[in-house]
Amino acid sequence: MKRDDEKILVIDDEAPLRHMLRLVLEKAGYRVIEAADGAVALAILEGEPFDLVLCDIRMPEMDGLAFLDQVAARKLPVTLIMMSAYGSIDTAIECMKRGAYDYISKPFKPDEVILTLRKAEERLRLRRENDRLRDELATVSPPSGIVSVSASMEQVLKLVRQVAVSSSPALITGETGTGKELVARALHNEGGRRDRPFVAVNCSAISASLMESELFGHVKGAFTGADRDRPGLFGAADGGTLFLDEIGELPLELQPKLLRVLQEGEIRRVGESRSRRVDVRVLTATARDLREEVARGRFRDDLYFRLAVVEIPIPPLRQRMEDLPFLVEHFVARIAARERRSPPVFTRAAIDLLQGYRWPGNVRELENFIEKTLIFCRGETIDGAELPWEVRRENRTEPSSLSLKQAASRLEREYIAKALAATGGNRTHAARLLEISLRALLYKVKEYGIE
């Protein structure tokens, strides 16, 4: 594969080594620029961009560690691979602390150099893909916070924009975790009530005995424990929007009172003899089939028709898998920022596994899954082998053989992939985790074709 656009800066005070690396790298399709010390290399880097740099540690004038410090201080966007004939684990770790991507001990084989560069290129590709997703995310995530590129969600957003200007009720339907409250907030934020209160309540979270007081309020002394007047949720949302999630859980005896509010624009607090005017837009949501609930006598048909002036159905995540990479990027960025860590990149293999899972809990399950993944995976990249078990299990096919040798090979490959992912692709660190030599790890990486 030719890489005429891929330049590599080779820094070493030994001309024969630079010449050997030039021959190896040019044969592999790279374009090589040479520098005899760190000061010359910095001048070259300031003048033209490089993605990859191979740098010796022991050099006159400016050694490799000082060069690393200067690259970090000048914020030069390069991937640095250090080389040394006097290496040790401590030296390698010190290089990583100062910003190097990897470390190669001299003498090295040409294949080892190329393998290291291929891994570095993969990280660069993932970073660029991550940047591309972030740029696209900025265009596909409107102020409502709904992340989507799919045609089905575009229809939802189109409907939201059309309905937002109205004050009529709207019923948002969809499976649990699809983002019904996000749609409700979008309807509020993109309409004329955006500067007024948005009050959300889950009807299933309030006991039937307290529901009336919570919704409509009460006056002091209305019942035992009512030691002061309370405006209720309708009063709190006056002038704005009240979002009633899980409306199918509303007790049958309270449904006529909600219908009256919708029809008359009035509420009556518990214990009060007169009605009060309220100006509230009512949005509701349910994971149930309210038509079925009406047919079974568990929901009033007149209330259903009043609530569903406009119905906005939200498709489940499994029907809009093209949104998944953008949702992953969105959640990774948000969770990483909260945890004050650099956001890791999910590899293509990891995304493919995520897209092969059905996500019964939809977007909410995906968000929780990403949070759990980031707790246990601390590397710069996250590969499919280290994703939590439920996703890998659903994508797993039964082995065609009961061979212990084949099973051991599969397990070994999986552990190597996990170690490399946990160390951000750093083979020196991965070898220590696996408790094998670096040479053995390099052999197995090549044998298993791990990228």
Residue type for position 105: S
**SS3 labels along the chain:** CCCCCCEEEEECCCHHHHHHHHHHHHHCCCEEEEECCHHHHHHHHHHCCCCEEEEECCCCCCCHHHHHHHHHHCCCCCEEEEEECCCCHHHHHHHHHCCCCEEEECCCCHHHHHHHHHHHHHHHHHHHHHHHHHHHHHHHCCCCCCCCCCHHHHHHHHHHHHHHCCCCCEEEECCCCCCHHHHHHHHHHCCCCCCCCEEEEEHHHCCHHHHHHHHHCECCCCCCCCCCCECHHHHHCCCCEEEEECHHHCCHHHHHHHHHHHHHCEECCECCCCCEECCCEEEEEECCCHHHHHHCCCCCHHHHHHHCCEEEECCCHHHCHHHHHHHHHHHHHHHHHHHCCCCCEECHHHHHHHHCCCCCCHHHHHHHHHHHHHHHCCCCEECHHHCCHHHHHHHCCCCCCCCHHHHHHHHHHHHHHHHHHHCCCCHHHHHHHHCCCHHHHHHHHHHHCCC
Which one of 270, 297, 314 terminates a domain? 314
Regarding whether 98 and 70 lie in a shared domain, the answer is yes
Flag whether 119 is in a domain.
Answer: yes
Regarding whether 164 and 304 lie in a shared domain, the answer is yes
Regarding whether 64 and 11 lie in a shared domain, the answer is yes
Domains in the chain: how many in total?
4
Flag whether 265 is in a domain.
Answer: yes
Regarding whether 211 and 338 lie in a shared domain, the answer is no
pLDDT in tens, the chain (451 residues): 444 457 899 999 889 999 999 999 998 888 999 998 888 899 999 888 888 999 988 888 788 888 999 998 888 888 899 888 776 677 777 888 888 888 888 888 888 888 888 888 887 877 777 667 666 655 555 546 788 888 999 899 999 999 999 999 999 999 999 999 999 999 999 999 999 999 999 998 888 778 888 898 877 766 766 667 788 899 999 999 999 999 999 999 999 999 999 999 998 888 777 888 999 999 999 999 999 999 999 999 999 999 999 999 999 999 999 999 999 989 998 898 888 888 888 888 888 889 888 899 999 999 999 999 998 887 788 888 778 766 665 554 444 555 666 667 777 887 888 788 777 778 888 888 888 888 778 878 877 777 6
Regarding whether 298 and 246 lie in a shared domain, the answer is yes
CATH code, domain with 30: 3.40.50.2300
The structure tokens listed for 75 are 């914020």
Is the pTM of the predicted complex or chain greater than 0.75? no
Flag whether 29 is in a domain.
Answer: yes
Flag whether 170 is in a domain.
Answer: yes
Residue type for position 111: D
Regarding whether 282 and 169 lie in a shared domain, the answer is yes
Which one of 291, 314, 337 terminates a domain? 314
Flag whether 2 is in a domain.
Answer: no
The boundaries of the domain holding residue 243 are: 151-314
Using CA atoms of 423, 427, 428, 432 in order, give the dihedral in degrees to the nearest 10. 70
Flag whether 138 is in a domain.
Answer: no
CATH code, domain with 278: 3.40.50.300
Regarding whether 334 and 241 lie in a shared domain, the answer is no
| pLDDT of amino acid 309 | 94
Report the chain's terminal Cα–Cα distance, integer Å.
Answer: 15
Regarding whether 339 and 193 lie in a shared domain, the answer is no
The structure tokens listed for 325 are 């990479």
Flag whether 178 is in a domain.
Answer: yes
| pLDDT of amino acid 53 | 93
CATH code, domain with 376: 1.10.8.60
Whether residue 360 is preceded by a cis peptide bond, meaning omega within 30 degrees of 0, is no
